[in-house]
């Protein structure tokens, strides 16, 4: 990277924070998918002549909603982990800067 060691840190920090924001946004989207999937469940009246597949449909809908909720939770964890790493980079850079100034 050009521009000295400080710019490398800034790129890493901003990239990690940007990626964390994207993971958080996608996590929110999976939460919406879970809610919309649950709306696909059919009652006996709604299924009409397809009542034989109602149980199978409901099972698929339930599994889809559960996987979307799990994905939401895991993506939120990834976002938090990326922010934690960015904070660690920032703290390490601060400590290095303080140590550098103390030597001069």
Q: Of how many residues is the chain composed?
A: 104
Residue 42, phi then psi, degrees to nearest 5: -110, 135
- What tens digit of pLDDT does each residue of 26-84 get? 999 999 999 999 888 887 777 777 788 888 889 999 999 999 999 999 999 999 999 99
d(CA 92, CA 97): 9
User: Are the C-beta atoms of 63 and 41 separated by less than 8 Å?
Assistant: no
Q: What is the pTM of this model?
A: 0.73
Q: Residue 9: its pLDDT value, please?
A: 61
């Amino acid at each position: 990277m050009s521009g000295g060691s400080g710019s490398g840190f800034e790129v890493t920090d901003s990239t990690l924070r940007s990626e964390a924001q994207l993971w958080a946004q996608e996590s929110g989207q999976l939460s919406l998918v879970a809610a919309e999937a649950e709306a696909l469940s059919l009652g006996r009246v709604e299924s009409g002549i397809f009542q034989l597949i109602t149980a199978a449909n409901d099972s698929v809908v339930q599994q889809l909603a559960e996987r979307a909720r799990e994905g939401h939770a895991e993506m939120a964890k990834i976002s938090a982990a990326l922010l934690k790493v960015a904070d660690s980079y920032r703290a390490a850079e601060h400590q290095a800067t303080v140590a550098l100034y103390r030597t001069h």
